[in-house]
Every structure is written in structure tokens, then in C-alpha cells.
Structure 1
């Protein structure tokens, strides 16, 4: 274990970032917890970081030899900010990078797919985590959580398509392995939960666990795109609605053994997650 050099965790207060930070500090690793407001994180050194402000990059990278990368939220072109930062990180002495991407976006694909494609040429050791949809998408202030609370409904354009929903705790556990194991995979890793579920299945489980009726309401691609576009840029809204359309076509109907293989334990089920965080 290297306790002198640090791991930079971008988005250290976010859904996976705070769990990665906790996992690293629990193992005794030094962590620089990066965010736009340098929010204190237990066991870590807070540092201000903004993808769109290169003046914050050098302090964040000082003393760092590995990074956990969360792309800029809501950006349809994250490579524009990320690639200049990653080149500076390489020059600063970073040799290992773990990128959070998506099961729906391959290397060379849109958005973060461009960063994925560039990563092997930038670092000696790297991994790209490509999780399926987060179970946490049904908690907090997310669109699904809000529509469940306000309307008793989950609104998607995914039809009866199935998804291998995964708990953010399992994503973070794999990220910690990828950041700290002596041998990193130097590959992309598809991450899923133990089974695939339709949004109708999800609604039924939430109804059973909470005792409140929840249904899955089907939207068209255009309806979902316009719903998203009321909150985020149209280009990004179109991409997200397109992912739902891909789910309807079966693109996410798969499971993987990655969590079990890298962490030594099986991924958690959606029912277990709902009992823990929704009940």
C-alpha cells in the first residue's frame, strides 16, 4: 500500500465518489476528495476541483499518482474538458486512471466514449467501469424518485425492456479494486446486478417494499426527450431518451460476473436495495 502518494477522487461527494472515498480510506489509502466546493469528507483531504476551471487542476493533482474520474455532469461533450486534464495528469505523475462510464456507451462512442478510447494511450494502468443503470436512480431527488413520490409512477420510453440494475455500493467496490490491486485489468468492465428487471418489475418491487402503489408509465421517445429537455440541454436529453429506446430493443438485457470476480462477493439485488433504502 502506498500511503505517501494520494488517489484523487473526482466527485467525492457524489453517488459513487463518496463510496469510493470511504472504501479507500477504510483500507488506509490517502485520498484527495475533489469537488467544486472542496466539501470536507471524513478521512480525506478536501480539494477544490472544477472540470471547466483549469486553474483548479494543479493543486488537485499535487502528490497524486492515481485518479477516479467522474465525467462532468450533464455534458454531451465531456472529452473537451477531460482530455486536457488527463494529459496534465499524466505529466504530473499520474500512472493509473479509473473512469466511470456507462454500459450503454462503448469506447469511441458518444460523450464519455471518446475519453474511454483515449485512456489506454495516456496511462500505464487503466480501467473503464461501464455499469448498467444505478439502483440509486430511484432515490433522493432523481427524476424517477420525484415522479414516484408525486405521481406514484416511473416514466420511461423503455417499454418492457430489461436492465441489470446495479447498486452504487457494488460499483464503488469494483472501483476500489481497480484503483488499488497490484494488477489492474487494463480493460473495460461491464457491471450489473444479479438479474435483469423491467421497469414494471421495479415498480412492483417498490410497491411491495413501501406499501405504496407504483406503476410504470410508458412514454414515447419524443415524450421522454421533451420531458428531459425541460431540465437539461436538448442534445443531452435526446441522448438519454435514445438510451431508453435502446433498452426497449434489448440492449441492456444482460448480466455480468464482474462484481463477483473482482470483489469476491455477489452483487446486491434490487429487492435488498429497496428494503435498505426505500422502505
Structure 2
């Protein structure tokens, strides 16, 4: 592929999008930062973008030759809006797309798994699918877990004793930048984890030590979690998230990979290090 032109980062104010846009801009790449409010991002051109408003798509795609794709949040069928957009992007000259998916969603699986399958079938010339494990920032940023911890010192899951290779969003962004700008695109999916698999009780223990106050993991059944989530999310999506926790409890996410180290040349950050970095920064 020729030298990078403009990279359109969709979800540029989100957890991974903001970090990816910032890293690209800092490295001197031309970045168009897309969000629903066209919020400014240092070093990037801000543009309004809404998955559900096609009138925002053409301006976002102008002169872009690569995309960082964050699916619409909370949509159980993101392919319905993402695949037509990718067709339009290809026609507009986009040659490379990097999709944010999940370690829990295989190619052809539910939700964004259909977009993953379309990329492998050749939706664009060059591609990668990032399949990170659960974000470490879920406990330190703007996620409901983090909000609950700040408000009550507790967070709730239906994951039981299941362990997860939680990953730092900074590491996801570092891999995304390589996938977007390296001479050769991965043209595969990349499962991203941190250096160790931890249970939610382990997470609570680390947060208790770092924050200097008790943090407790409250255990729910999958049905209880689904019912709680349904108050804020579409029922189908709430059921999907509850089923993911059930799978975690059964060991589906108890793994680590060397992908971050292999792609970036450095080891992934540990959860204690990220908690220290982000909770100290917030104080």
C-alpha cells in the first residue's frame, strides 16, 4: 500500500477511538476524527458522523483511504448500517479498514461478527479485525462498572469465578495504529489480551489496594444481569451481554495471547499498572 493518506477514525471520542486518533496524529498522519457531535481531537480534523444518518457519511469519507471502525453502541445488528457504509467507503476510495470487534464474537457470529465475515470476503482490499478481551478501563473510565465503583464501591457481573485476559485500551490503540499504517495489513483477526487472566474478584482486590478503599464484586445470575441491563438497553442486546458473562463463567475468556507484544514490540500493560496510572491520574 502507498503512504497513508487520510484515516477516518469513527468513534473518535470513545475509549479506543480517541486513543487511536491521538496516536495517529502524534505520528504525523492525517486524521479525520468522526463523532456524533464533531468534538475536537488534538491534531485531527473533527467531522460529524452518525451511523444512522447517511447525510453525514459523504463528508466523513472525503479523501479517506483507510478507516478505523467502531460499531454503533448497543445495536444488536450493527451490520445493517455498517455494511452499506463499507460499500460506500470502498466506492469512495477506501482501501483499508480496521474493525473493532470482541474476543467473544467470532467471525460470522452475532452482532459485529457479520461485519468481520464481510471483511474477510473482500469488502475492502486490506483489513484487520481487532478482537480485544474486556477493557481494563471498564473499571476506571466511564463504563457502568466504573460508575458503580465510584458511587457504591461495588460492581456486578454474572461471570462468577471466570477469568478474563483484560486488556488496556492503550494497547488496543497501539495495535490499531500498526494495523492502519504498516506497509502490509494483517488481513486477519487479532485477539488482544493483557499479560494475565484475572477473575472479577481479582480485579476488586487490585482496585481495593490501589484506590485505598474497599471495592467489592457482587455476583448475579445471568437472568438477574439480563433483567438489570434491559432497563437501559434493548432486550436482545441485554440478553447477549448476559450470555457473554455466562460464557466467561464457563471459562470462555480464560486465555492470554502474545499479539500485543508481537505487533508492537513491547509487552502488554498489566491491570495493576493501568489501575495505578488511571486512578492516580483521576485523583
Is residue 112 of structure 1 aligned with residue 116 of structure 2? no
TM-score, with normalisation over the residues of structure 1?
0.98
Please, which moves more after superposition, 195-204 or 145-154? 145-154
Q: Residue 223 of structure 2: SS of its match in structure 1?
A: helix
Q: Residue 73 of structure 2: SS of its match in structure 1?
A: coil
Structure 1 runs (4+) deviating above 4 angstroms are none
Is residue 158 of structure 1 aligned with residue 188 of structure 2? no
Kept in 2: contact 1:206–1:214 (CA 8 A): yes
Counterpart of 2:271 in structure 1 is 270
Kept in 1: contact 2:105–2:113 (CA 8 A): yes
User: Aligned partners of 1:88 and 1:145: how far apart in 2?
Assistant: 37
Kindly state the Cα deviation for residue 185 of structure 1 after the two structures are TM-superposed: 1.2
User: Aligned partners of 2:222 and 2:127: how far apart in 1?
Assistant: 35
Counterpart of 1:217 in structure 2 is 218
User: Aligned partners of 2:3 and 2:13: how far apart in 1?
Assistant: 23
Q: Residue 200 of structure 1: SS of its match in structure 2?
A: helix
Kept in 2: contact 1:154–1:199 (CA 8 A): no
Kindly state the Cα deviation for residue 150 of structure 1 after the two structures are TM-superposed: 2.5
Aligned length: 278
TM-score, with normalisation over the residues of structure 2?
0.96
Counterpart of 2:98 in structure 1 is 98
Q: Residue 278 of structure 1: SS of its match in structure 2?
A: helix
Kindly state the Cα deviation for residue 108 of structure 1 after the two structures are TM-superposed: 0.4
User: Aligned partners of 1:260 and 1:271: how far apart in 2?
Assistant: 18
Kindly state the Cα deviation for residue 141 of structure 1 after the two structures are TM-superposed: 3.2
- Mapping for residues 1-279 of structure 1, pairs under 5 Å: 2=3, 5-120=5-120, 121-279=122-280
Any gaps of 5 or more consecutive residues in structure 1?
none
User: Aligned partners of 2:6 and 2:277: how far apart in 1?
Assistant: 32
Aligned-residue RMSD, C-alpha: 1.0
User: 1:55-103 CA distances to partner (integer Å, 9 max, x unpaired)?
Assistant: 1111111100000000001100100000000000000000000000000
Kindly state the Cα deviation for residue 140 of structure 1 after the two structures are TM-superposed: 3.2
Any gaps of 5 or more consecutive residues in structure 2?
none
Kept in 2: contact 1:2–1:29 (CA 8 A): no
